[in-house]
Amino acid sequence: MQRWPRCWTNPFNDEYLNHLPNTGCVPGPSRNLTDLPAIRMVLQRLCRDAGCVNLKLEGRQWPFPLLAETETRLVLGMTTAQRERWQLKLGAHLELGLVDRGRRYQGTVKLGEWSELDGDECACFHHPRELVAFDYTGLTDYVPDEPVFCTFSSPNHDICQARLRALGNDGLEFAMWGTGAVKEGQLRTDAATTLELALDQGTKVVLAGITGSMDGGSAAVRFHPKADPAMLKAYRGWLQDALLAQDRRDQEGFSLRGARARGPAAGQGRGPSPVRLLSERDPLVLVVGEGAFPQRIQEALGRKFGIAALDYVQGEVRPMLQELGGDAPDWGRVRLLLIHQRLRLSSGLELTRQLTQEEGCPLPILVAGTEEDVALKRNRAIAAGAVDFISVDPFKILAVMRNIEQTLSLFR
């Protein structure tokens, strides 16, 4: 088996380091990727999952679908109108941003050529020489491919269970969204909790923890400094084995020839998600969010407002709104956008910046999310171009309705 240079440092011990395969995929305080095969592994996983990368140039950024990865190129879906709007020229250097297994990376790519793939316009970029990792906390060393659940105690001493988003040398991250998410009140910032994990071969570990931040779709729980040393050693040994197994699977799935995005071609289904009209009345509110969020808004407010929904946005928003018709020539009948802070391909703040800075959206925008750190989130939302930030978790119908009504009244 081919052995590649290591580019991440060891957070565990020398014995662990000695028996690791040199794939550049061992996590640690320095998570930067400088080895081309390790970088290509990340890009191929993203490509097979029909994911997107963000490109940034002179303060402007935009998500583009990753259509293919080859030995020498990244192939991104990009139309002639988009490259003309950005005034892109061959040889230009752009900042690349992506998310792999919950980890954020940034690099620099060079535009090589314009091309077509399966009839779709695309741009070919050289591989980045380095992917710089962000937000290392010691809690995201291992992001499992299959769901892993953890039993924990709540501040009220109830026994709860939720899905883990990631596992780390220093603690765990619980999912705040989707199946098996932590429910309201089950974890509280700076509160003590007891964690119980069922590991392989029936082994269980029980560790004391302290809840940290609860933001960005996850709740961070660090192991207590006085956690049981024997239990902690057993857990970290299991974590090492899980990392090695995942690393082997990554190597087996790596293709020197490259990868192609699954599913239909970009022009047949990789473009913007179609608008769904959930409630037919005026004024019409466009809700951008994944999962059950748009339906939840419709059920709560559908008798008061018209509700249209987008599961996600890939590319420009304005062309999709024209499908809603109405008298307005560009933005259809939509009078307000309600954007959840957590989106599948980017974030609510990034989409807000796109709408206000790139598309010149004249409509009021509200960013929605959890109630933790509301003042900070409001400042960030307003800085991105939104009118306000509103809490929708916990969901208070009257408060959400009042915020929408007040915002609409300001823009009549």
pLDDT grade for 223, boundaries at 50, 70 and 90: very high
Same fold, 14-136+252-264 and 272-410: no
- For 365-385, what is each residue's pLDDT tens digit? 999 988 888 888 899 899 889
Query: 14-136+252-264: which CATH topology?
Result: Pnp Oxidase; Chain A (2.30.110)
Structure confidence at residue 39 (pLDDT):
95
Three-class SS state of 210: strand
**Domains of the chain by residue range:** 14-136+252-264, 149-227, 272-410
Give me the residues paired with residue 340 across strands: 368
CA distances from 325 to 75, 301, 321, 356, 363 (A): 34, 22, 8, 21, 16
- For 19-65, what is each residue's pLDDT tens digit? 333 333 334 445 789 999 999 999 999 888 777 888 988 777 777 88
The domain 149-227 belongs to what CATH superfamily? predicted glycosyltransferase like domains (2.40.10.220)
Angle, nearest 10°, between helix axes 36-48 and 229-253?
80
CA distances from 352 to 30, 138, 305, 380, 401 (A): 31, 30, 21, 11, 21
DSSP 8-state symbol, 200: G
- For 131-186, what is each residue's pLDDT tens digit? 998 766 678 889 888 888 999 999 999 999 999 989 999 999 998 776 788 888 89
Judge whether residue 11 has pLDDT over 70.
no
- Name which of 120-129, 230-239, 275-284 the model is least confident about: 275-284
- Which residue, chain included where needed, has tokens 């491919």? 145
Per DSSP bridges, beta strands 365-370 and 388-393 are: parallel
What's the mean pLDDT when you consider all of the chain? 82
DSSP 8-state symbol, 342: B
CATH of 272-410, one of 3.40.50.2300, 3.40.640.10, 3.40.50.300, 3.20.20.210: 3.40.50.2300
Show Cβ contacts of residue 409 under 8 Å, excluding neighbours closer than 6 positions.
none
Three-class SS state of 173: strand
- Candidates 148, 160, 164, 155; CA nearest to 211 is 155
Instruction: Supply 77's token pair.
Output: 């879906």
DSSP symbols for 36-103:
HHHHHHHHHHHHHTT-EEEEEETTEEEEEEEEEE-SSEEEEE--HHHHHHHT--TT-EEEEEEEETTE
- Candidates 220, 363, 207; CA nearest to 283 is 363
CA distance 166 to 386: 31
Q: Where are the beta strands (DSSP E) in 224-358?
A: 259-260, 276-279, 284-288, 306-310, 334-340
CA distance 217 to 176: 5
Structure confidence at residue 56 (pLDDT):
87
Instruction: Label residue 296 left, alpha or beta by phi (over 0 means left) and psi (-120 to 50 means alpha).
Output: alpha
Query: In the predicted model, what is the mean pLDDT of residues 247-262?
Result: 88
pLDDT grade for 235, boundaries at 50, 70 and 90: very high
Give me the residues paired with residue 83 across strands: none
- For 313-352, what is each residue's pLDDT tens digit? 767 788 777 667 644 556 788 999 999 988 766 688 888 9
- Candidates 248, 243, 19, 165; CA nearest to 235 is 243
Give pTM, 2 decimals. Answer: 0.58
CA distance 370 to 141: 25
Structure confidence at residue 137 (pLDDT):
67
